[in-house]
Structure 1
Amino acid sequence: MEPFSFASSDTLDYPVSIRIINLEGGEAPLKFSTLLEHAELRHIGSNQSSHSDLYITVQVWAGSKPLTVPVQTAYKSFRNERRWNEWLTLPVTYATLPQNSHLAITIWDLSPTGGRGTQGRAIPFGGTTLPLFDRDNQLHKGRQKCHVYRHRQADGNDDSKTPAILPRKRGKSRMLEDREAEELDRMEKLFKKHEMGEIPRVDWLDQLVFRGFERRGMQSAKSSLKTAQTDASQGSRDANSLPEPSSFLLNVELPRFDFPVVFADLEYPRPPVSSLQHLSSSQSNMILKPPPEVQLGPGINAIDDDEGYGGRLIRVYDPEVAARDNPAESKHRRLVRSQHRNGILDRDLKPNAKVRDELNMIMSYSPTHTLSPEEKDLVWKFRHHLTRNKKALTKFAKSVNWQDQSESRQAVQILGKWTDIDVDDALELLGPTFDNSAVRAFAVERLRKADDEELLLYLLQLVQALKYEHISPQPGHEVTQDSSLARFLISRAASSFTLGNYFWWYVMVECDDKSQDQGPDNQAIYGKVAYDFMTELVKEPDGEDTRKTLRRQAEWIAILSKISGEIKESNESIARRTERVKHFLADPKNELVTIDPPLPLPLDPSVEIIGVVPEDTVVFKSSLHPIKVSFKTTSGRKYPILFKTGDDLRQDQLVIQIIALMDELLQKENLDLKLSPYKILATSTNAGLSQFVHSMSLQGIASKFRNNPAHAYLKQNNPDSHGPLGLRKETLDTFVKSCAGYCVITYILGVGDRHLDNLLLAPDGHFFHADFGYILGRDPKPFAPAMKLSKEMVDCMGGAGSEHYRQFKQYCSLAYSALRKNSNLVLNLFSLMANANIPDIKLEPDKAALKVKERFHLELSEEDAIRHLERIMDDNLNALVPVVIDKLHELVQAFRA
């Protein structure tokens, strides 16, 4: 057999479309006597003119039922011919079409007096029903001539009374017509090859062929029309013949595809797995198991079955096969737990040495680890013994079947006897994994013991955790009654202005997020939280003043947003934009020259601004044109900020918050790495503030100083002939420590798109990173290094063989080791941000924490992990790709400039 290339209809994700070309044919005008007898016929458009206005509707039918709404042609005025030449697209794709799909095409005339089949002012001129698949189950394509049944609406039924294609009758004239149709079809295939370039173009010859084909087509249409009329006259004499066809033919065109499209039924996804018992979301075994692989024995699945059974093995889908758990194992666990549920001896049950080791191994698991059924049973069995272990609570909560009322009731009683847990475990209990209100309330009680400074470190994640509370978005419900976490946050934010400032702006950003990922319910929940916060704020002694301050902050942000948006949209030069901003800020009408009373800065409430310094304004040359604005503060110093519109700063805000948290964790280990977590605050989903730190990029430094640029820059600002490498000792020490801190932290967070333009160096030696548009291992550049350790950084330390570089590696090892001890806290923070609509997290929300966990390498011992980190640094230092990337970036930026 010759190979036959085709496509199946279930893979054709393309909307059904049809081109209405023209209506050809005619009929004798009605006699005047008929018009006199039937006055309603005088007002029908087609009875007044042979080229009256008509419109066409097309609708997909299947199984004698409509599948779509009708689609209508646009209005068109006809002069000599009723020609629409218009493509109509129907709201259904070929992939979802049944085999018995039809196109019900109705031509509508206008009649103010009505008549049979009237719809409003429209009356059927004629109808025709065109099947989409032929007898060979192939999709119809190309031009089609459809017989129009006068004064009838297309019915669209499977046994349609208005078929577009009539069966051919035998006879001499029919044989000639068939030959003519075959010739026309052959010519159309050649035209298709000509369009695809398979036949060379010859302009003068092509014109002759096209004109000849046109004449031949018109002659064929006339002959087919005469034949149809003859058939009609014969059919009128034969009572058993087909319904009388009209003398009108509707020319339509269906899309052409490169290969024949054969009908294939769309395979819908399997139905949801039924389960007798709905497990809680806190159960880690809720993930469906993959369907089992069926291993067929010899000869069972063979085409030639000689044993007489015939055919292939038919697999029947059984939802219970892919159930969440094996019913036998589930029954076994219920029996095991029934023995250790209310027994008197359970309280005094002690593990032996072997079991103690197993329990210690379970307690060491990271928050993202899934407990096996056997491990859950073991934790449940020794639950009373584990109440003295603060690390065991989260594992115990994962081991409880919270849908079992008896088990849930006893678990809640045991929670009250548990020893105090750490903050990282409390944050894990507030995540999406746990939905039991008693468990979440227990975690909130632990957070009450944290002071404001500690709470501020996790406030961003705690605001996100409100999404996992049982808060009803329906009006009339107060969140303070539904959620213990909401009550706690509102109470603490109302009693502390700093907490209240950040809490208010975090909630406002969530209210501003109108993306499809969040939905209206999310906005309603946070709107309720904001309302309850304002209600609680009034009850405080200075609550009214705090409300006014927050309102003034919003007005201040709105003023800056106005000028920033105008500058971004204007097509002026940078100098002209800067002058416009300065003039705007200096205008007393905008109330920025003097701010009285002093306004706490939303970015840093500890700073109170009293006015703007217009002459210090700078508009940066980039696509979004951020504005640098300096404000006078009550302390007498200037506080420069960057204001940007058109960019979502929530990802940068998250990274800076994690860096600030890691700085606190390192300092608790007596390791001060001179980090500079400058402040960032997103004020909406497309605007925000950022603290401006006086610094210079390594790219700018390299263009200014040729040899060892970072060292030359620091030496210019901090010279000391008696110090190491000609620098002040404190400056070089700050540089080495900050390089080590940022190298480790950006490696753990998977910060990408690192180049010399976003590596910054302050005059006092503080090194830091900026622009966190790519995190969690994403990078727009191929073969990007896992850690950014540039040659300029190492040269400033004295080279790879210097003592300062050895100290740098030692600081990296100490920082990595200290952060690995606190990995659970970092992983829980990222788990709480799973639904925060942050770009690099929402790509794979369930894997965000896992990507961070991979960088911690918790499966390795401390020595092996440090050795792995050193290998990464050595490979990056000796690699050529980072150098090439930096050079390419420099060339691209120079070209853009």
Structure 2
Amino acid sequence: MEPFSFASSDSLDYPVSIRIINFEGAEAPLPFSTLLEHPELRHIGSNQSPHSDLYITVQVWAGSKPLTVPVQTAYKSFRTERRWNEWLTLPITYSTLPQNSRLAITIWDLSPTGGQGAQGHAIPFGGTTLALLDKDNQLLKGRQKCRVYRHRQADGNDDTKTPAVLAKKRAKKGEPEAREADELDRMEKLFKKHEMGEIPRVDWLDQLVFRGFEKRGLQSAKMSLKEAQQTKGGQVDGLNGGNDTGTAPEPSSFSLNVELPRFDFPVVFADHEYPPPPVSSYLQLSSSQSNVILKPPPEVHLGPGINAMDEDEGYGGRLIHVYDPEVAAKDNPAESKHRRLVRSQHRNGILDKDLKPNAKVRDELNMIMAYSPTHTLSPEEKDLIWKFRHHLTRNKKALTKFAKSVNWQDQSESRQAAQILGKWTDIDVDDALELLGPTFDNPAVRAFAVNRLRKADDQELQLYLLQLVQALKYEHISPQPDHETTQDSSLARFLISRAADNFTLGNYFWWYVMVECDDKSQDQGPVNRAIYEKIAYDFMTEIVKRPGGEENRRNLKRQGEWILVLSKISGEIKESNESIAKRTERVKHFLADPKNELVTIDPPLPLPLDPTVEIIGVVPESTVVFKSSLHPIKVSFKTSAGGEYSIIFKTGDDLRQDQLVIQIITLMDELLKKENLDLKLSPYKILATSTTAGLSQFVRSASFQAISSKYRNNPALAYLKQNNPDSQGPMGLRKEALDTFVKSCAGYCVITYILGVGDRHLDNLLLTPHGHFFHADFGYILGRDPKPFAPAMKLSKEMVDCMGGSSSEHYRQFKQYCFLAYSALRKNCNLILNLFTLMADANIPDIKLEPDKAVLKVKERFHLELDEEEAIRHLERIMDDNLNALVPVVIDKLHELVQAFRA
């Protein structure tokens, strides 16, 4: 079947419109004797002149009911022909049209005496009903010729009596009338193709054909009129408003030419798909404790003859499936009663506080406490936790499980649970972050989590700040301007206070909030934007109350102006079609222009990317424009400390995904250092300043692709030897550089495996002169990869060769570092999983594809179902498989060829 491009009507958000072109046809004038006998007829405009004033109304009907009010043509005075040439727009869009939609078009005449069907002084001259979809359910388009039914108002019913197009009655072959009708029909089809551009236009020839067709049409109309006059009959119906005068009506043959909008592709009817009805409106539980997960129906074994085919009845079975809106969300009455009975025994009992589990129950509770944050507790497990809630207050890992086991809709139960929260021992930060996620909406629970965060210092808080800003979406914050954000939300109050006290923290908080305010996508929604705008306003109000707050506020505003200046030149460079050399010169000239206030920045400006660095001016001669499609710009600035700081500024790309990955890598680096495992990761900084622009730190380095093209044999080792020569060291280079390379390779291999970073090739594997290996460009994460058969872990041959080969001592040490890093990160998996949970609604591309599965994809890489030894063996198998695989080598070679072809 050949490919067929079309559009669906439900996506066509365009108003229904129609162009009224002209009115064709003629009828014999009424005899003067008839006008004398019926004086009311002489006042009708069309009886006085063949070009009298008429107007037209159009209305959309469907299901024998009007969908819109009628739309009317403007007044027009006719001289030689009745031609309106006017577009009418109806108050309805194509996306909302039903399948049986039609246009009821009525032509109105004027008469001061009224008559049948009159509306004031207007009486129907004639009407026609045009279906909007053809027999193939495609929207009609282009010019349409509609038959007009004299003296009738348009009938928009499904079984209309005024159809615009009638089935043609074929005359006998050979008769002049049949030949003429066939020819006119053929010409009509050709004219329509000509209008749609299917027949090439030749102006001089087209004019000849048009004039000839008009003459032929007039002659045909006169012939039809004469024939009708010879066979006329019947009674006058509607000429005089329904007065039966016994006078035979004069025959008429009128048609109305209209035009419908044309579209590039056929538009096929598609009904609007409404979302499924709510599962239940009776019980709205928070997702932390509702069992809204639809489980497969249980297998039921019916007794003999209950649902079997009965020969006498002639149909299969007597059981009927009925949709029940309460299924799944409204509690099972039996289970609900059971839970109330069980918990009533352990709600106000005096002995509950002293209740302790035996050895068997203790093991069961310990197993429940070890569940990951994504695990769903069963009703029995929730009841068990509730029963021993007082005993569990000494276990910091039990709090999140307890919060999930509480029915927060039950006022008595939630009140008692809130009291127990106050007695709980201090919890870890990862559990506090879980309580701020979308599954917990009780203010007492969220306030408890915020109290735990108050004990974290600013440096630790900065590690989770990106996720905490996202957690504000799950707070009960009113977007109304008369409500104060800090009163609505304990988390907002806490973040604003801490960000106002520390400028570094406030700098990042401000830009994270600004990006959310800038996000105008459908996923964000106007309500969330309004909430973040309120938070930004409250933060600025709060910051001026602190010592030095006015200066900090000015610095944040100056940062915004600095970003705008860079955005201007970056946008111009990206859109220009100049060579790289000319683009670079233009940027240098722009930066050196004093009007742009970049040559000297006074007072010094804290860099948004790293506010601990203050910049005092630009270094134009260090500017570089890169060759990629978006042409990012590398700009260097002088710092107040006397050095230089280089950044890469990019517009046209959303850097939030890269920002998230770098933040997680930074966090993992801190977690590994707490385990006394410094793998020399040193991730570069990155900051999204809007949804289409951002900054990243420039690190002096070379890609493995560039190194391989320069050095043929063992390129990475040759590169390190050139920058770190030492004849006494291992393989002829400094021991510290090789040690840094081995450690950083191990760290990045494990971290990129856990995060599922894809699209790895030699162009985004980078190496610094001192041996720091790192990854760049995180456009694909969570297992996504544009290349087929991509490896789970990127361990290239160049990396292994630099260590001395797969049988060397350095490679064995590399594997040991990988195992240690993987074990250490598995211990902190709850923290990493909770951070990804908070990013579910952050509008990050690879998370947005499947927000409910993003956390599960990360969890899958930890292999929590395996013990530590099995998990390490599994990781070793992945490394060995990748090292011996041929596909990654082929992919790298193909990528090299493509890049060479592009260059």
TM-score range, shorter chain: 0.7 to 0.9
Q: Is the 8 A contact 1:72 1:88 kept in 2?
A: no
CA distance in 2, matches of 1:779, 1:46: 78
Q: Is the 8 A contact 1:289 1:324 kept in 2?
A: no
- Judging changes above 3 Å, is the alpha-carbon distance between structure 1 residues 329 and 53 closer, same or farther for their aligned structure 2 residues? same
- Judging changes above 3 Å, is the alpha-carbon distance between structure 1 residues 124 and 747 closer, same or farther for their aligned structure 2 residues? farther
Does the alignment pair 1:502 with 2:508? Answer: yes
Report the secondary structure of 1:632's partner residue. strand
For residues 346-357 of structure 1, the aligned pairs below 5 Å read 346-357=352-363
Does the alignment pair 1:308 with 2:309? Answer: no
CA deviation profile, 1:370-412 (whole Å, cap 9, x unmatched): 1111111111111011000000000000111111000000000
* Paired residue type of 1:540: R
Report the secondary structure of 2:126's partner residue. strand
1:882 to 862, 876, 888: 888
- Other-structure match for 1:548: 554
Does the alignment pair 1:560 with 2:561? Answer: no
CA distance in 2, matches of 1:92, 1:46: 40
CA distance in 2, matches of 1:689, 1:139: 49
* Paired residue type of 2:699: V
* Paired residue type of 2:62: W
CA distance in 2, matches of 1:231, 1:411: 93
CA distance in 1, matches of 2:567, 2:466: 23
Q: Is the 8 A contact 1:45 1:53 kept in 2?
A: no
Q: Is the 8 A contact 1:734 1:766 kept in 2?
A: yes
- Other-structure match for 2:870: 864
1:320 Cα shift? Answer: 3.2
CA deviation profile, 1:182-224 (whole Å, cap 9, x unmatched): 9999999x99xx99xxxxxxxxxxxxxx99x999999998888
Does the alignment pair 1:61 with 2:62? Answer: yes
Does the alignment pair 1:410 with 2:411? Answer: no
Report the secondary structure of 1:768's partner residue. strand
Report the secondary structure of 1:26's partner residue. strand
CA deviation profile, 1:58-106 (whole Å, cap 9, x unmatched): 6233232326986999x9999999798999999566997366x543234
- Judging changes above 3 Å, is the alpha-carbon distance between structure 1 residues 147 and 442 closer, same or farther for their aligned structure 2 residues? same
CA distance in 2, matches of 1:658, 1:264: 44
1:683 Cα shift? Answer: 1.1
Does the alignment pair 1:605 with 2:611? Answer: yes
Q: Is the 8 A contact 2:19 2:260 kept in 1?
A: yes
2:291 to 285, 288, 294: 285
1:265 Cα shift? Answer: 9.7
- Other-structure match for 1:727: 733
* Paired residue type of 1:97: P
CA deviation profile, 1:263-292 (whole Å, cap 9, x unmatched): 999996653233543212322413344567
CA distance in 2, matches of 1:385, 1:700: 62
Report the secondary structure of 1:615's partner residue. strand
* Paired residue type of 1:308: E
- Judging changes above 3 Å, is the alpha-carbon distance between structure 1 residues 80 and 522 closer, same or farther for their aligned structure 2 residues? same
- Judging changes above 3 Å, is the alpha-carbon distance between structure 1 residues 274 and 789 closer, same or farther for their aligned structure 2 residues? same
CA distance in 1, matches of 2:120, 2:786: 59
For residues 288-367 of structure 1, the aligned pairs below 5 Å read 288-289=294-295, 306-308=311-313, 310=315, 314-367=320-373
1:227 Cα shift? Answer: 7.9
CA distance in 2, matches of 1:461, 1:401: 27
CA distance in 1, matches of 2:609, 2:726: 37
CA deviation profile, 1:342-365 (whole Å, cap 9, x unmatched): 111111111111111111111111
* Paired residue type of 1:669: E
Does the alignment pair 1:698 with 2:676? Answer: no
CA distance in 2, matches of 1:534, 1:149: 70
CA distance in 2, matches of 1:133, 1:692: 59
Q: Is the 8 A contact 1:141 1:253 kept in 2?
A: no
CA distance in 1, matches of 2:517, 2:567: 18
1:129 Cα shift? Answer: 2.4
* Paired residue type of 1:837: N
- Other-structure match for 2:766: 760
1:563 Cα shift? Answer: 1.4
1:564 Cα shift? Answer: 1.3
CA distance in 1, matches of 2:844, 2:732: 45
1:587 Cα shift? Answer: 1.7
Q: Is the 8 A contact 1:57 1:107 kept in 2?
A: no
- Other-structure match for 1:671: 677
> Under a length normalisation based on structure 2, what TM-score does the superposition of the two structures give?
0.84
Measured on the aligned residues, the alpha-carbon RMSD in Å equals: 5.0
1:864 Cα shift? Answer: 1.2
CA distance in 2, matches of 1:120, 1:626: 70
CA distance in 1, matches of 2:774, 2:669: 13
- Other-structure match for 1:149: 149
Report the secondary structure of 2:233's partner residue. helix
Q: Is the 8 A contact 1:58 1:72 kept in 2?
A: no
Q: Is the 8 A contact 1:59 1:71 kept in 2?
A: no
Does the alignment pair 1:659 with 2:661? Answer: no
CA distance in 1, matches of 2:397, 2:620: 55
Q: Is the 8 A contact 2:99 2:133 kept in 1?
A: no
* More divergent stretch after superposition (321-330 vs 626-635): 321-330
* More divergent stretch after superposition (79-88 vs 275-284): 79-88
CA distance in 1, matches of 2:617, 2:419: 57
CA deviation profile, 1:312-357 (whole Å, cap 9, x unmatched): 7553322234445322112211111111111111111111111111
* Paired residue type of 2:61: V
- Other-structure match for 2:404: 398
CA distance in 2, matches of 1:560, 1:613: 14
1:521 to 515, 527, 541: 527
* Paired residue type of 1:730: E
Q: Is the 8 A contact 2:450 2:490 kept in 1?
A: yes
- Judging changes above 3 Å, is the alpha-carbon distance between structure 1 residues 491 and 683 closer, same or farther for their aligned structure 2 residues? same
Alignment gaps of 5+ in structure 1: 1-9, 196-209
- Judging changes above 3 Å, is the alpha-carbon distance between structure 1 residues 166 and 535 closer, same or farther for their aligned structure 2 residues? closer
- Other-structure match for 1:7: none
Q: Is the 8 A contact 2:840 2:854 kept in 1?
A: yes
- Judging changes above 3 Å, is the alpha-carbon distance between structure 1 residues 612 and 237 closer, same or farther for their aligned structure 2 residues? closer
* More divergent stretch after superposition (550-559 vs 479-488): 550-559
CA deviation profile, 1:624-674 (whole Å, cap 9, x unmatched): 111111111122111111111111111111110000000000000011111
- Other-structure match for 1:126: 126
* Paired residue type of 1:62: G
1:501 Cα shift? Answer: 1.0
Q: Is the 8 A contact 1:22 1:82 kept in 2?
A: yes
- Judging changes above 3 Å, is the alpha-carbon distance between structure 1 residues 613 and 139 closer, same or farther for their aligned structure 2 residues? closer
- Other-structure match for 1:836: 842
1:774 to 777, 780, 783: 780
Q: Is the 8 A contact 2:21 2:85 kept in 1?
A: yes
Q: Is the 8 A contact 1:60 1:67 kept in 2?
A: yes
CA distance in 2, matches of 1:121, 1:642: 74
- Other-structure match for 1:447: 453
Does the alignment pair 1:802 with 2:808? Answer: yes
Q: Is the 8 A contact 1:129 1:154 kept in 2?
A: yes
Q: Is the 8 A contact 2:9 2:269 kept in 1?
A: no
Identity among equivalent pairs (%): 76
Report the secondary structure of 2:383's partner residue. helix
* Paired residue type of 2:313: G
- Judging changes above 3 Å, is the alpha-carbon distance between structure 1 residues 114 and 745 closer, same or farther for their aligned structure 2 residues? farther
* Paired residue type of 1:583: H
Q: Is the 8 A contact 2:714 2:798 kept in 1?
A: yes
* Paired residue type of 2:470: Q
- Other-structure match for 2:430: 424
- Judging changes above 3 Å, is the alpha-carbon distance between structure 1 residues 347 and 815 closer, same or farther for their aligned structure 2 residues? same
- Judging changes above 3 Å, is the alpha-carbon distance between structure 1 residues 311 and 163 closer, same or farther for their aligned structure 2 residues? farther
- Other-structure match for 2:199: none
> Under a length normalisation based on structure 1, what TM-score does the superposition of the two structures give?
0.84
- Other-structure match for 1:5: none
